[in-house]
Structure 1
Amino acid sequence: MRYIDYRLLLCLTLLSVCFSCGSSRNFSKKRTDVGRVLSESDQRKFDYFFLEADRMKNLGKQDAAFDLLQQAAAIDTSSAVVKYNLANYYLHLKKPQLAYDCLKEAAEKSPDNYWYNVMAANLAQNLGDAEQAISLIRRMIEYNPNKPELNYMLAEVYAQKGDFQQAIDAYNQLEQSMGVVEPIILQKVKLYKALKQDDKAFAEVQRLIDAHPKDITYLILLGDLYLDSNRDEDAWKVYQHAGEIEPDNAYLMVSKANYYNKKGDKEAYQKQILDALLSKNLDVETKQKILTGFLSELLQKKENLDQADSMFSALLEMHPQEEELHKLYADVLWIRQKKNDAIAQMQIAVDLAPVRLEYWQQLIGAILDQKKYDDAIVAGEKALSYLPDEAVLYIYLGSSYMMKKEYDKAVATLRTGLKHTNPENRALISDLYGQIGDTYYQAQQPDSAYAAFDKALEYNPGNIGVLNNYSYYLALQKKDLSKAERMSGDAVKQEPDNPTYLDTYAWVFFQQGNYTLAKIYLKSALDKGGNESAALLEHYGDVLFMTGDVDGALEYWNDALEKGSDSKMLPQKIKDKKYYEE
Structure 2
Amino acid sequence: MPLRLLVLPILAFLAACASAPGADVANQAPQAVEVAEAPPPPPPVSERPFPAESLYPLLSAEFALRRREYESALGQYMTLAPELRDAGISAHTTRLAQYLNREPEALEAALLWTELAPESVEANSTAANLLVRRGRTLEAAPLVAAIARAGEDANFPMLLSGFRRLPPEQQSQMVTAINSYAAEMPDNTQLMLTQALLLEELGKPDASLEKLQQVFANEPYQAQALLVEARLLTAAGSRRPFRRIESALEAQPENTRLRLQYARLLTQDDIDGAKEQFEILNANAPQDADLLFSLALINREMDDPGAAKQYLKEMLALGERTDEANYYLGRLAEDEGEPQQAISYYQKVMTGRDYLSAKQRIGRILIEDGELEKSQAHFASLRAANPEQREQFFAIEAELLSNADQLDSSLALLNLGLEEYPDSTALLYSRSMVGEKQNDLVLMESDLRQILAREPDNATALNALGYTLANRTDRYDEALELISRALELQPGEPAILDSMGWVLYRQGRYDESITYLRQAFAEFPDPEVAAHLGEVLWVTGDTEAALKIWGDALDEDPQHKVLTATLERLGITALTSASP
The DSSP-based 3-state class of the residue aligned with 2:426 is helix
Cα gap change, 1:378 to 1:69, in 2 (>3 Å) = same
Cα offset for 1:350?
0.7
**How far apart are the structure 1 equivalents of 2:528 and 2:77?**
64
**C-alpha distance in 1, partners of 2:97/2:442?**
51
Aligned counterparts of 1:570 and 1:496: Cα–Cα separation in 2: 30
Contact conserved, 2:305 with 2:332, CA < 8 A, in 1? no
Which residue does the alignment assign to 1:100? 110
Name 1:402's counterpart in structure 2. 402
**Aligned-pair CA distance for 1:553:** 5.7
Q: Distance in 2 between matches of 1:475 and 1:95?
A: 51
1:451 maps to which of 446, 450, 470: 446
After superposition, residues 384-403 of structure 1 pair within 5 angstroms as 384-386=380-382, 388=384, 389=386, 390=389, 391-403=391-403
Residue 436 of structure 1 corresponds to which residue in structure 2? 431
Deviates more, 1:465-474 or 1:45-54: 45-54
Structure 2 residues not aligned, in runs of 5+: 1-19, 130-139, 159-184, 191-214, 223-244, 574-580
Alpha-carbon deviations, 1:67-108, whole Å to 9, x = none? 8537x72xx6x5556655665798746166543332134437
Conserved? CA contact 1:364–1:380, under 8 Å: no
Q: 1:68 to 1:347 in 2, by over 3 A?
A: closer
Match of 2:546 in 1: 556
Q: Which amino acid in structure 1 is aligned with residue 535 of structure 2?
A: G
* 1:476 paired residue among 471, 475, 500: 471
User: CA–CA distance in 2 between the matches of 1:11 and 1:274?
Assistant: 33
Q: CA deviation at 1:502?
A: 1.9
Deviations, residues 312-362 of structure 1 (Å, cap 9, x unaligned): 46567888886644544565788xxxx463856643421333566725525
Q: 1:358 to 1:318 in 2, by over 3 A?
A: closer
State how far apart, in whole Å, the 1-side matches of 2:471 and 2:62 are.
Answer: 67
Q: For residue 354 of structure 2, what is the amino acid of its counterpart?
A: E
8 Å contact from structure 2 (residues 296, 307) kept in 1: no
CA distance in 2, matches of 1:32, 1:399: 72
Q: What SS does structure 2 have at the residue aligned with 1:449?
A: helix
CA spacing shift, 1:51–1:512, aligned 2, 3 Å:
farther
Aligned partners of 2:92 and 2:279: how far apart in 1? Answer: 58
**Could you tell me which of 549, 568, 571 is aligned with 1:574?**
571
Determine the C-alpha separation between the residues in 2 that align with 1:272 and 1:44.
Answer: 65
Please tell me whether the aligned partners of residues 469 and 479 of structure 2 are also in contact (alpha carbons under 8 angstroms): yes
Query: Identity across aligned pairs (percent)?
Result: 12
Distance in 2 between the 1:449 and 1:9 partners?
Answer: 58
Aligned pairs for 1:112-191 within 5 A: 119-123=122-126, 126=129, 127=140, 129-133=143-147
Q: For the structure 1 residues 99 and 446, does the alpha-carbon distance in structure 2 shift closer, same or farther, using more than 3 Å as the test?
A: same
Alpha-carbon displacement from aligned partner over 1:151-180 (angstroms, at most 9, x marks no partner): xxx568799999589xxxxxxxxxxxxxxx
Are 1:288 and 2:292 an aligned pair? Answer: yes
Q: How far 1:438 moved relative to its partner?
A: 0.9
**Cα offset for 1:503?**
1.9
Distance of 1:381 and 1:295 partners within structure 2 = 35
Query: After the TM superposition, which residues 364-403 of structure 1 pair with which residues of structure 2 at under 5 Å, given as runs?
Result: 364=360, 372=368, 374=370, 378-379=374-375, 381-386=377-382, 388=384, 389=386, 390=389, 391-403=391-403
Cα distance, 1:385–1:346 mapped onto 2, change above 3 Å: same
1:196 aligns with 2:199: no
1:17 offset after TM fit, Å? 3.9
For 1:382, the aligned partner's letter is H
The structure 1 residue matched to 2:506, chosen from 492, 511, 517, is: 511
| Secondary structure, counterpart of 1:69 in structure 2 | helix
Answer yes or no: is 1:69 the counterpart of 2:80.
yes
User: Are 1:377 and 1:400, in contact at CA under 8 Å, matched by a contact in 2?
Assistant: no
CA contact (8 A) 2:521 2:529 kept: no
Scaled by the length of structure 1, what TM-score is found?
0.54
Superposition deviation, residue 572 in structure 1: 5.1
CA distance in structure 1 between the partners assigned to 2:532 and 2:111 by the alignment: 64
Spell out, residue by residue over 1:522-560, the C-alpha distance to the aligned partner (whole angstroms, 9 max, x if none).
Answer: 233334443x52564356425753xxx3x4369737964
Offset at residue 500 of structure 1 (A): 3.3
Contact 1:355–1:386 (Cα < 8 Å) also in 2: no
Check 1:524–1:333 CA distance in 2 against 1; reply closer, same or farther (3 A cut). Answer: farther
Deviates more, 1:346-355 or 1:323-332: 323-332
Instruction: Tell me if structure 2 keeps the 8 A contact 1:542–1:553.
Output: no
Specify the alignment match of 1:184 in structure 2.
none
Distance 2:276 2:148 in 1: 50
Q: How far is the alpha carbon of 1:310 from its aligned partner?
A: 3.9
2:535 corresponds, among 522, 525, 541, to 541
- Measured in 2, the distance between the counterparts of 1:454 and 1:557 equals 38
Q: Deviations over 1:20-75 (max 9, x none)?
A: 669xxx9xxxx98857558xxxx4455567667778998865797478537x72xx
CA distance in structure 2 between the partners assigned to 1:79 and 1:313 by the alignment: 59
Across the two proteins, how many residue pairs are aligned to each other?
A: 430
Q: How far does the alpha carbon of each residue in 1:438-483 deviate from its partner, in whole angstroms, 9 at most, with x for none?
A: 1222233222222222333456555444333222112224365455
Deviation per residue, 1:184-226 (Å, 9 max, x gap): xxxxxxx99983389xxxxxxxxxxxxxxxxxxxxxxxxxxx9
Structure whose CA Rg is larger: 1
Distance 1:349 1:193 in 2: 53
SS at 1:341 equivalent: coil
After TM superposition, give the deviation of residue 504 of structure 1 in Å.
Answer: 1.3
Counterpart code for 2:299: L
* Between 502-511 and 81-90, the greater mean CA deviation after superposition: 81-90
Which of the numbers 435, 458, 461 marks the counterpart of 1:466?
461
Q: Which residue of 2 aligns with 1:213?
A: none
Which one-letter code corresponds to 1:525 in the other structure? A
Matches within 5 A, 1:24-423: 37=49, 43-45=51-53, 47=55, 65=76, 69=80, 73=83, 79-80=86-87, 83=90, 92=102, 94=104, 98-107=108-117, 119-123=122-126, 126=129, 127=140, 129-133=143-147, 195-196=219-220, 229=248, 282-283=286-287, 285=289, 288-289=292-293, 291-292=295-296, 295=299, 305-306=302-303, 308-312=304-308, 324-325=324-325, 327-328=327-328, 339=335, 341=337, 346-353=342-349, 358-361=354-357, 364=360, 372=368, 374=370, 378-379=374-375, 381-386=377-382, 388=384, 389=386, 390=389, 391-417=391-417
C-alpha RMSD of matched pairs (Å)? 6.0
Aligned 8 A contact 1:407 1:443 in 2: yes
Deviations 1:490-524, CA, capped at 9 Å, x for gaps: 44456555543322112222334433422321233
Deviations 1:96-136 (A, max 9, x none): 6543332134437xx9xxxxx57525425634624534677
- The 8 Å contact of residues 519 and 540 in structure 1, kept in 2 or not, is answered as no
